[in-house]
Amino acid sequence: MRRAREPRFGYTDLPEPQRIALRKAIRLEVVTFVFMLTAVAAVFSVMGGSQAMKAAWIEDMLGLIPPVAFLLAISRARKEPTPDHPYGYHRTVATGHLTAAVALLVMGLFLIEDSAMGLLRQEHPQVGTMQLFGNTVWSGWLMIAVMVYTGVGPFILARLKLPLSEQLHDKVLYADADMQKADWMTAAGTIVGVLGIGVGLWWLDSVAALFIAGSILRDGWKNLRFASGSLNDQRARTFDDKSPHPLTYQVDDVLRDLPWISQSRSRVRDQGHVFHIEAFVRPTDEDVTLERIEEAVTALRNLDWKIHDVVVMPVRDLPEEIPDPGADQ
Amino acid sequence: MTRISSWVPAMLMSAVLPLTGCAVTIPVDPDGTLDRIRREQVVRAGASPRPGWVVVGSMTEDPTGREVDLVEGFASSLGAQVEWTVGGEEDLIGRLEDGSLDVVVGGLTDQNPFSADAAMTRPYLEEKVQGTVEAHVMFVPMGENALQSALERWLDEAVPR
């Protein structure tokens, strides 16, 4: 075992910037987890009969999953391959991503049904008073104060985590930051719902809850698509899943630039943090040596730290069944 | 969460803020129960018997007991009289739901099974009974938050802890 406590992904050594980013990300996710625990407790203690508060509470509980998934994935992914897991444990990231997505999707659906039924049955939410330091206060004011608290934390944390998710190519971290980025809207929506109860517009509470449920459902659907795409060996995409990863195009370019290679066709898949590459190359002559193959592998490895598991296979003709990565560019 | 969803809270906010400006107090009853009590000077109360808390003599005279006194006190704080209806718990809770009663008492505790149908006040009194603690509550119509808050506030001041 080499330096087991050093931050790493499997047997891939991380460059210094990534090492720093990973330490920061771990710290931030621990902070996120603790913050979300306080948020869940705070919201629960003032929740009362507001449907919007219930939705916000459930969203905060779901917010506990991504930091846990991230921390678990990081500790699993650092393990080196074993005979039983010859590719290592990088897929843990996608598994964590998928788990979070399914939780979001199911709770989003539940909350939409729950809030819509409340609206149809015209249930008037009950929000009475609370005793605070010997004074009797309308609970709505406390709810609004708590929502300001739960809105501000994620707003800051998300902005700190987003750049790290790009540096580390960590999709769980990205999904977490992306969802938290929008959490202030949940808080604002809940405040509107509670103010609605305050002025006697009982339906505004359920409408706010529906809006929150819709945002949870959207997050779930988006993440489910990307997590399952990655598990189904979709070609590697950028950290935010917006487009195919530029490396998927560069691999063939780099190989073709080597003097002994005339043509190249590659497959690049994302194992979670790191990429697995199979490249089929057509040599200019029959003189394929071990040195040349090693040179090709090194050229690819030097391209990016994420390029990790590389197989270069000399062939007489390019495999026709593998599509050109640049075909749809 | 992109463009479309970001204007929704802003729109809702702009719909509510002017309303909060003209409302005198928060919370407001959606069905205006507290205002009606002040206007008509009548609290329509339901009483279900439980020894000590609500005692029912004959059907012609008003009930007596600790909670009956509390409701009378609350009503007079609003300048209102109490119109009593005596009945079983389920019947009285049903009348809260259809809006024909404003408050129900019956020595009820926070362990009662009606909290989904009507709004339970915050426990105003805790008493030890045979080794367990009974937390006493009253009922008002669900979502009539001004009435509920007024009653809870009054009970906080009227009942020594």
Over residues B127-158, the pLDDT tens digits come to 888 889 999 999 999 999 999 999 999 999 99
Fold classification of A16-231 (topology level): Alpha-lytic protease prodomain-like (1.20.1510)
Query: Residues 6 or more apart from A25 whose CB is under 8 A from it?
Result: A70, A74, A161, A164, A165, A168, A170, A173
State the smallest CA–CA distance between residue A254 and chain B in angstroms: 37
Query: Is residue B123 situated within a structural domain?
Result: yes
pLDDT band at B23 (very low <50, low <70, confident <90, very high): very low
pLDDT band at B33 (very low <50, low <70, confident <90, very high): very high
- Cβ-based contacts of B142 with chain A (< 8 Å): 49, 123-124, 126
Q: How far apart (Å, rounded) are the C-alpha atoms in residues A98 and A226? A: 9
pLDDT at residue B86 greater than cutoff 70: yes
ipTM of the complex: 0.82
Q: Select the residue of B6, B30, B153 nearest A136 (Cβ to Cβ).
A: B153
For chain B, say whether A109 makes contact (Cβ under 8 Å): no
Q: Do B30 and A215 touch (CB under 8 A)?
A: no
- pLDDT at residue A6, rounded to an integer: 59
Secondary structure letter of residue B85 according to DSSP = E
Q: Which of A234, A243, A189 is nearest to A216 (CA)?
A: A189
Q: Contact A204/B12, CB-based, under 8 Å?
A: yes
Q: Is A45's Cβ below 8 Å from some Cβ in B? A: no
DSSP 8-state assignment for residue B55: B
Q: CATH number for the domain including B118?
A: 3.40.190.10
The pTM assigned to this predicted structure is: 0.85
Average pLDDT, chain B: 86
Least CB–CB distance from B6: residue in A185, A199, A200: A185
> What's residue B3's pLDDT?
45
Closest approach of A52 to chain B, Cα-based (Å): 13
Homologous superfamily (CATH) for A247-314: Cation efflux protein, cytoplasmic domain (3.30.70.1350)
Q: Per-residue pLDDT for B47 more than 80? A: yes
Residue ranges of chain A that CATH labels 1.20.1510.10: 16-231
**B125 contacts in chain A (CB < 8 Å):** none
Question: Domain for residue B12, yes or no?
Answer: no
For the record, the structure tokens of B31 come out as 């069905």
Instruction: Tell me whether residue B149 is exposed, middle or buried, using C-beta atoms within 10 angstroms of its C-beta: 0 to 12, 13 to 18, 19 or more.
Output: buried
pLDDT reading at B10 higher than 60: no
Cα nearest neighbour of A124 on chain B:
B143
Domain that residue B74 falls in? 27-158
SS3 content of chain B, % helix, strand, coil (to 5): 40, 20, 40
Question: Which 8-state DSSP code applies to residue A244?
Answer: B
Contact residues on chain B for A206, CB-CB shorter than 8 A: none
Q: What is the C-alpha radius of gyration for chain A, rounded to an integer number of angstroms? A: 25
Residue contacts between A and B (CB atoms, under 8 Å):
106
CA gap A214, A191 in Å, rounded: 17
- Amino acid, res. A223: N
Residue B130 burial (CB < 10 Å; 0-12/13-18/19+)? exposed
Q: Is A202 in the B-facing interface, judged by CB distances under 8 Å? A: yes
The pLDDT averaged over each successive group of 10 residues in chain A (329 residues) is 58 86 96 96 91 92 91 88 91 84 90 92 92 90 95 94 94 90 88 94 94 91 87 91 93 94 94 92 92 94 91 93 85
Query: Is the confidence at residue B104, as pLDDT, over 60?
Result: yes
Confidence (pLDDT) at B8: 52
